[in-house]
Amino acid sequence: MIVKSVVENKEKYEVELIVEVSAEEFEAGLNKVYLKNRGSINVPGFRKGKAPRKVIEGMYGAGVFYEEALELVYPEACNAAIAEKGLDHVAPPQVEILTLGKEGFSFKALVTVRPEVTLKQYKGLEADKVLPTVTEAAVDKELQVFVDRATQLVTVDRAAELGDTTVIDYVGLKDNVPFAGGTAQDYSLELGSGTFIPGFEDGVVGMKAGDIKDIELTFPAEYHAEELAGAAVVFQVKCKEVKGKQPPVLDDEFAKDVSEFDTLAEFRASLKEKVIDRNMQQSEAQFRQALLGQLCDQIDIELPAGMIETQVDRFVDNYAARLEQQGITMDMYMQYMNIDMAKIREDLREPAILQTKQQLALDAVAAAEGIVITDEDVEAEVKKAAVNLGVPYERVADGLDRDNLKKDLARDKAMAVVAENAKANLVEVADNGEIEIKEITKEEVEAEKAEEKPKKKTTRKKKTETEEVKEEKVEE
């Protein structure tokens, strides 16, 4: 491989390379392709897979293996050329084949390189930071999760109300004929859950055990079953049982049952601490996001088009992967949403520009601070992630792009430098939702957070270090 020409276009952050691949290098690629494909080629007079390459080329043409060999050889040659010239490329190169034959081939590669970023200021930035306040209502909401888990359903001798669960038999009739999927026995239905079509659950409200009732309804016009869409039907319903929710008594015994604390007061105090911690993390995240926006204003740059398109590609791939996890293909999603890929990419362009600017700004800070991420740093992060997720190390490490992880870790450290050297205007949100400036120091906020925490039961076994790490991650 020989780089014959290098042309720079600094305004567009592009470098054009003309690369020649020798006959020997191309021949090696041709032979690999021949060995790979010979077993699937039938040649009269030869057993399958035994026909010489020259015989196959004589039958199908001298260039029968050219295209596949080209696809095999040129990416490696292109990467070697980029590395030889020390180019920091930020997008897949655009390649154009110029010549191709038994003597080798040549191609032109248009390489988008990382733009030079001049960072004006990254220390001394200023942004509002919301104080981590917590109300009793917020603690009640946190407590309600445990109340709901401990709430039981008990049979009641009264008319069914919204929120109750009824055990019913029902038969759905259309034109006095039962329709498919419209019949069930001993079905437990929570009234108000929206499980059935509109009107059904409202019709069951007021029924008592033993009551029989006809509920006349009309299916929604957009109902998924075409034979029922917009159809008038009658449900014959028999109520067999009404169950009401019986919440637990909120006392010390309840606290012992659902937590590691001996009293309800201690349990509520722990929940309050949890809410404060969460609010502090959210406040810090919002503070850093505001600083990151200001940091982007400190760089003046026109992003290369290839860099933006590459980021859009990543967004599309990530979104497609999330859809696949739900059993949905991108084609299915586009059909359902009545959009095409052009529209998706258009919608992702602005977020791609923003994220690319953020990354460049943080990279500039990392360079200014001399931040270097070692292989040991990456290994420690992988082990930490495995512990926090509660999965084997290999599951996290396999397929991990360690170079990208290094970049992410460096950017995290760069953001920490920006935050540590920024001025936080501490504010709190008043009852009317408006932000008020408060005369309070960071030390006072940390002191409030460091107050003595409620004591846990001493009768429970001590947690392992791994369990404590997992809990800390969950609360984060």
Rounded distance between C-alpha atoms, residue 108 and residue 129, angstroms: 52
Nearest to 378 by CA among 337, 344, 408: 408
Residue position matching structure tokens 């930035």: 125
Q: How confident is the model at residue 445 (pLDDT cuts 50, 70, 90)?
A: very low
Average model confidence (pLDDT) across the chain: 88
Give phi and psi for 94, each to the nearest 5: -95, 120
pLDDT computed for residue 476 by the predictor: 35
Tens digits of residue pLDDT in 263-312: 999 999 999 999 989 989 999 999 999 999 999 999 888 889 899 999 99
Domain ranges of the chain: 2-112, 152-246, 256-301+371-475
Listed in sequence order, the residues at least 6 apart from 191 whose beta carbon sits closer than 8 Å to its beta carbon are 160, 161, 162, 163, 164, 165, 166, 201, 204, 205
Rounded distance between C-alpha atoms, residue 159 and residue 188, angstroms: 16
Tens digits of residue pLDDT in 155-197: 999 999 999 999 999 999 999 999 999 999 999 999 999 999 9
Nearest to 55 by CA among 43, 72, 70: 43
Rounded distance between C-alpha atoms, residue 57 and residue 364, angstroms: 54
Give the global pTM: 0.69
Give the long-range contacts of residues 420-424, CB within 8 A, separation 24 or more. Answer: 421/122, 421/123, 421/124, 421/125, 422/123, 422/124, 422/125, 422/126, 422/127, 422/287, 422/291, 423/124, 423/125, 423/126, 423/127, 424/126, 424/127, 424/128, 424/129, 424/287
Question: What is the share, in percent, of the chain residues with pLDDT greater than 90?
Answer: 68
pLDDT computed for residue 469 by the predictor: 35
2-112 — its CATH code?
3.30.70.1050
- Identify the DSSP state of 19: E
Contact by Cβ (8 Å): 255, 262 = yes
Residue type, 345: R
Tokens of 74: 């040129």
In what order do the strands lie in the sheet containing 94-101?
2-9, 14-21, 104-112, 94-101
Rounded distance between C-alpha atoms, residue 362 and residue 291, angstroms: 11
Q: Any idea which architecture 152-246 has in CATH? A: Roll (3.10)
Q: How confident is the model at residue 10 (pLDDT cuts 50, 70, 90)?
A: confident
Rounded distance between C-alpha atoms, residue 352 and residue 114, angstroms: 16
Rounded distance between C-alpha atoms, residue 146 and residue 259, angstroms: 9
Distance between the two ends of the chain, CA-based, in angstroms? 51
Question: What is the share, in percent, of the chain residues with pLDDT greater than 70?
Answer: 90
Q: What are residue 437's DSSP bridge partners?
A: 427
Buried/exposed 251-284: b ≥16 CB within 10 Å, e otherwise: eeebbbebbbbbbbebbbbbbbbebbbbbbeebe
pLDDT computed for residue 212 by the predictor: 97
Q: How confident is the model at residue 474 (pLDDT cuts 50, 70, 90)?
A: very low
